């Protein structure tokens, strides 16, 4: 009894789909699919932008020292909430690393998690990320509403939220680079 070509193809398709649920390849496949289908962040129209009035926001740096958000007043700022266990966060951090490489020293970056230090350090080393990790102090007031990971803000020099994104976005593209450059050039 010969197996039909259509049956073989159906079996292969089912095996491929199942591999996404039961093998390590599935995790990496999901990361790839998230990256492929992530959208480009969009700029909020000027009249609809929220304004930060209080920059007094305590956070912890990678060495667990208390820092404050207030030095970012008057600067273009990128704020991202992430978690190492979140697949969409994992999928977008590569593009955030590229954005950081392009704009470090020009834009203030707050890549914020509420996790413990040890798993975050292991995650950063494993993925060879070197953007600055900031830790949320749970229960403290914040300058911006804390978003579920992955969630991101871009703030201009005057304290207006120029972008607010919920979910995975592609931060490594010319639209974002042009937006940040435009914000940096504003007086």
Output the pTM of the full model: 0.84
Separation in Å, CA 63 to CA 31, 60, 133, 145: 29, 8, 9, 24
Domain boundaries, the chain: 5-35, 40-185
Q: What is the pLDDT of residue 38?
A: 72
Report the Cα 52 to chain-centroid distance in Å. Answer: 20
- Express each pLDDT in 45-58 by its tens digit: 999 999 999 999 99
Give 88-143 as a DSSP string.
Answer: HHHHHHHHHHHHHHHHBTTBEEEEEE-S-HHHHHHHHHHHT--SPEEEE-TTS--S
- Express each pLDDT in 126-164 by its tens digit: 999 999 999 999 999 999 999 999 999 999 999 999 999
Contact 57, 68 (CB under 8 A): yes
Q: Which CATH architecture has domain 40-185?
A: 3-Layer(aba) Sandwich (3.40)
Greatest mean pLDDT among 1-5, 22-26, 98-102:
98-102
- Express each pLDDT in 48-91 by its tens digit: 999 999 999 999 999 999 999 999 999 999 999 999 988 778 88
Q: What is the pLDDT of residue 72?
A: 97
């Amino acid at each position: 009894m010969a197996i039909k070509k259509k049956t073989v193809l159906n079996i292969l398709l089912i095996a491929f789909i199942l591999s996404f649920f039961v093998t390590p390849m599935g995790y990496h496949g999901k990361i790839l699919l998230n990256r492929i289908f992530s959208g480009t962040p969009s700029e909020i129209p000027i009249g609809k932008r929220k304004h930060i009035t209080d920059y007094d926001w305590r956070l912890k740096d990678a060495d667990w020292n208390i820092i404050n958000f207030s030095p970012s007043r008057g600067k273009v700022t990128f704020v991202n909430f992430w978690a190492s266990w979140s697949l969409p966060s994992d999928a977008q951090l590569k593009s955030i690393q590229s954005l950081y490489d392009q704009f470090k020293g020009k834009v203030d970056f707050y890549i914020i998690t509420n996790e413990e230090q040890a798993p975050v350090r292991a995650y950063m080393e494993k993925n060879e990320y070197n953007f600055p990790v900031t830790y949320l102090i749970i229960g403290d007031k914040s300058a911006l509403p804390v978003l579920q990971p992955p969630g991101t803000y871009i703030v201009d020099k005057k304290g207006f939220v120029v972008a607010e994104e919920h979910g995975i976005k592609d931060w490594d593209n010319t639209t974002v680079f042009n937006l940040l450059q435009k914000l940096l050039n504003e007086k």
